[in-house]
Amino acid sequence: MLAVARRPYWERPHESWLVRRWPDLTASLVATFFFWLSLTPSLVPRPWYYQGAIGGITAAIGYGLGALLSWLFRLVFRKRLPGETVRARAWLAYLLLVPWAVAVMLGQSADMQRELRELQGLPPTLTWHSLMIALMALAMLALLLVVARTIRLGTGLLTRLLNRFVPWPVAVALGLVMSTGIVVIGTRDVVWDRGILGIADRIAAAKDRSTDAGVMRPYSPQISGSPDSLIHWDDLGNKGRTFAGSTLSSDEISEFTGEPALPPARVYVGRAAYDDYADGAELAVRELERVGAFEREVLAITGTTGTGWVNPTTVEALEYMHGGDTAVVTMQYSYLPSWASFMVDRNEAGTATEALVDAVYARWQQEPEDDRPKLLVFGESLAVSAIESAFDGLDDLLERTDGALLIGPPDFSPLHTELTERRDPGSPIWRPVYDSGRHVRFAQFPEVDLAEPEGQPWQYPRVIYLQNASDPVVWWSPSLLFERPEWLSEPLGPDVTTAIDWFPFVTFWQTTVDMAVSYGSPAPHGHRYGSNPVNAWAAIAPPDDWSETDTERLSWLLEIRHPPRHGWAG
Task: Render pLDDT for 279-323 as a digit per residue (tens, 0 to 9).
Answer: 999 999 999 999 999 999 999 999 998 889 999 999 999 999 999
- pLDDT value for 567: 46
- Could you tell me the pLDDT band of residue 568, with boundaries at 50, 70 and 90? very low
- pLDDT value for 570: 43
Backbone angles phi, psi at 442, to 5 degrees: -115, 140
Query: Quick one: what percent of the chain has pLDDT higher than 70?
Result: 91
DSSP state of 209: H
Average pLDDT of 16-37? 80
Backbone angles phi, psi at 331, to 5 degrees: -140, 125
Range with lowest mean pLDDT among 85-89, 298-302, 468-472: 85-89
CB-CB contact of 303 with 330 (8 Å) = yes
Average pLDDT of 267-282? 95
In angstroms, the CA 59 to CA 67 distance is 12
- Could you tell me the pLDDT band of residue 61, with boundaries at 50, 70 and 90? very high
pTM (two decimals): 0.88
In angstroms, the CA 280 to CA 289 distance is 14
Q: Residue 496 carries which side chain, given as an amino acid letter?
A: V
In angstroms, the CA 206 to CA 99 distance is 47
- Could you tell me the pLDDT band of residue 336, with boundaries at 50, 70 and 90? confident
- pLDDT value for 345: 66
In angstroms, the CA 93 to CA 443 distance is 52
Range with lowest mean pLDDT among 200-209, 226-235, 345-354: 200-209
Q: How many CB atoms lie within 10 A of CB 319?
A: 27
Beta bridge partners of 20: none
Nearest of 539, 357, 552, 547 to residue 461 by alpha carbon: 539
- Could you tell me the pLDDT band of residue 71, with boundaries at 50, 70 and 90? confident
Range with lowest mean pLDDT among 103-117, 228-242, 406-420: 103-117
In angstroms, the CA 411 to CA 477 distance is 6
The answer to whether residue 10 scores a pLDDT higher than 70 is no
Cα torsion through 499, 504, 505, 506, rounded to 10: -20
Range with lowest mean pLDDT among 124-138, 395-409, 492-506: 124-138
Average pLDDT of 546-557? 96
In angstroms, the CA 448 to CA 490 distance is 20
Range with lowest mean pLDDT among 270-284, 335-349, 418-432, 457-471: 335-349
H helices of 77-127, where? 84-119
H helices of 210-365, where? 237-245, 250-257, 277-291, 312-321, 338-365
The answer to whether residue 549 scores a pLDDT higher than 70 is yes
Residue 237 parent element (H or E): helix 237-245
Query: Quick one: what percent of the chain has pLDDT higher than 90?
Result: 58
- pLDDT value for 334: 86
* Alpha-carbon distances, residue 138 vs 31, 35, 51 (angstroms): 11, 10, 12
The answer to whether residue 200 scores a pLDDT higher than 80 is no
Largest CA distance in the chain: 94
Q: Residue 208 carries which side chain, given as an amino acid letter?
A: D
H helices of 246-327, where? 250-257, 277-291, 312-321
First to last CA, the chain: 56
- Mean per-residue pLDDT of the chain: 89
The answer to whether residue 569 scores a pLDDT higher than 50 is no
Beta bridge partners of 377: 301, 404
Grouping H, G, I as helix, E, B as strand and the rest as coil, residue 463 is: strand
Grouping H, G, I as helix, E, B as strand and the rest as coil, residue 93 is: helix
The answer to whether residue 446 scores a pLDDT higher than 90 is yes
Nearest of 460, 526, 461, 451 to residue 493 by alpha carbon: 526
In angstroms, the CA 215 to CA 474 distance is 32
